[in-house]
Amino acid sequence: MRQLIEELSHEERRIMEGGGAKAIARQHDKGRLTARERIAGLLDSQTSFFELGLWAARKMYQDWGGAPAAGVVTGIGSVSGRRLMIIANDATVKAGAFFPLTCKKVLRAQRIALENLLPLVYLVDSAGVFLPLQDEVFPDEDDFGRIFRNNAVISAAGIPQLAAIMGNCVAGGGYLPVLCDKLLMTEGSGLYLAGPALVKAA
């Protein structure tokens, strides 16, 4: 039993590294923090973070190098003494792109926030939809588009939503922050529907 616990703990630590040491170093080289570092800086000191879905997408998407924790960190923490739901794109995993399971994980976090009247904070650093799997990201009511519908429902319920763009915010991922009550952007961040190459191709 002890060996199994050690193996699980080791795997947990590996998942928490997201895209791995090299990807973390690239993020730091850009002068940016990782999703987990951002969350740690946001939370009240000496409080815990109740993470949701750490094991999501485990051993999935191996043809594309995997997507640890589905490329997004979600959970409940305290900020200024108030509990809230935090959803943070992990830019070390395929530039924070949305895999099919990323959508499911964000939707679950939104649903929990709505049911428990928790304010939401979105820490956005995402390349948008993971294009090789876009046919699995969009197709039904429990996928990508539902996230934006939930933004509207949560807003109508009077639950605050705040977004901080802390890197890239591209294509479909750009809709989420602009549907929030407050939107902040760090210097050097970008919010756009398409990059220069795509605009030129169009």
How does pLDDT run across 9-58, given as a tens digit for each residue? 889 899 999 999 999 999 999 999 999 999 999 999 999 999 999 999 99
Are 174 and 193 contacting, i.e. CB atoms less than 8 angstroms apart? yes
Task: In the chain, count H helices and then E strands.
Answer: 8, 7
The string of DSSP letters for 52-95 reads: E-TTTTTT--GGGT--GGGGEEEEEEEETTEEEEEEEE-TTTGG
| Tally of domains in the chain | 1
The most confident of the ranges 13-17, 88-92, 131-135 is 88-92
Confidence of residue 143 (pLDDT cuts 50, 70, 90): confident
The yes-or-no verdict on residue 144 having pLDDT over 90 is: no
Domain membership of residue 114 as a residue range: 2-201
Structure tokens at 78: 């305290």
CATH code, domain with 39: 3.90.226.10
Q: What is the pLDDT of residue 202?
A: 67
Q: What percent of the chain lies above the pLDDT cut of 70?
A: 97
Rounded (5°) CA angle 110-20-10 = 85
Report the SS3 class of residue 1.
coil
